[in-house]
A and B are shown apart, each in its own frame.
Chain A
Amino acid sequence: MTPVGSVDDGTSVTRDGALPDVTYDVTVVGAGVVGCAVARELAARPGLRVALVDASNDVGDGTSKANTAILHTGFDAVPGSLEARLVREGSRLLAAYAADSGIPVEPVGALLVAWDEEQLDALPTLLAKAERNGYDAARIIGPEEVRSREPHLGPGALGALDVPGESVICPWMTVLAYATQAVRAGVDLHLNCRVNTVDAFDGDVRVLGTGRGALRTRWLVNAAGLHADAVDRLLGHDDFTVTPRRGQLIVFDKLARDLVRHILLPVPTALGKGVLVAPTVYGNVLLGPTAEDLDDKSATGSTAEGIATLREKGRAILPELLDEEVTAVYAGLRAATEHDDYRISADPGRRCVTVGGIRSTGLTASLAIAAYVTALLDDAGAGLPEAGDLPPVRMPNLGEAFPRPYQRADLIAADPAYGTVVCHCERVTRGEIRDALAATVPPGSLEGLRRRTRARGGRCQGFHCGAVVRELFERGAELGDR
Chain B
Amino acid sequence: MVDVLVVGAGPAGLAAAAVLAALGAGEVEVLDREPRAGGTPRHCHHGGFGPLGLEGPGFAERWVRTAERSGAALRTGVTVTDWAGPLTLDTTSPHGLERITARAVVLATGARERPRAARLVPGTRPAGVLTTGELLRAVHVHRQHVGTRAVVVGAESVGFAALDALRLAGVDVAALVTEHPRHQTSPARALDARLRRGVPLLTGATVADILGRGRVSGVRLTHRDGRTAHVPCDTVVFTGDFVPEHELARRGGLLLDPGTKGPATDGAFRTDRRGVFAVGNLLHAVEPARAVAREGAAAGAAVRRYLAEGDWPSASASVPLRVAAPLAWIAPNLVTPDEPLPYGGRFALRTAEFVGRAPLVITQDGRTLHHARLPRPPVPNRPFHIGGDWAARVRADGGPVRIAFG
Contacts and interface: CB of A to CB of B under 8 A. Distances in A.
A419 interface: yes
A256 to B, nearest CB: 11
Interface string B227-245: 0000000000000000100
Contacts of B117: 251, 326-329, 461
A97 interface: no
Interface in B79-105: 79, 81, 92-97
Contacts of B210: 301
B328 interface: no
Nearest to A250: B120
Interface in A424-449: 424-425, 427, 445-447
Contact of A329 (B92, B120, B243): B120
A416 interface: yes
A300 interface: yes
A470 B144 contact: yes
Interface residues of A, number: 43
B115 A421 contact: no
A419 B123 contact: no
B134 A325 contact: no
A303 interface: yes
Given A325-B114, A406-B79, A467-B144, A445 B94 contact: no
B95 A419 contact: yes
Judged by DSSP, the binding face of B is mixed
Judged by DSSP, the binding face of A is mixed
Contacts of A479: none
Contact of A416 (B34, B95, B125): B95
B137 interface: yes
Contacts of A251: 117
Contacts of B92: 406-407, 412, 419, 421, 427
Given A409-B97, A412-B96, A466-B134, A307 B250 contact: no
B134 A462 contact: yes
Nearest to A327: B117
A406 B93 CA distance: 8
Interface in A312-371: 325-330
B123 A463 contact: no
B148 interface: no
Given A255-B247, A301-B124, A463-B131, A468 B79 contact: no
Nearest to B79: A421
Contacts, number: 118
Given A325-B118, A406-B79, A461 B96 contact: no
Interface string A442-477: 000111000000000001111110111011000000
B216 to A, nearest CB: 12
B94 A417 contact: yes
B127 interface: yes
B138 interface: yes
B33 A419 contact: no
Given A419-B92, A419-B93, A461-B116, A307 B122 contact: yes
Contacts of B77: 420
Given A325-B114, A409-B97, A419-B93, A463 B134 contact: yes
A240 B34 CA distance: 54
Interface string B244-259: 0001001000000000
B3 interface: no
Contacts of A419: 92-96
A425 B123 CA distance: 24
Contacts of A304: 122, 208
A306 B95 contact: no
Interface in B192-218: 208-211, 213
Contact of A427 (B79, B113, B115, B123): B79
Interface of A: 251, 255, 298, 300-304, 306-307, 325-330, 406-407, 409, 412-413, 416-417, 419-421, 424-425, 427, 445-447, 459-464, 466-468, 470-471
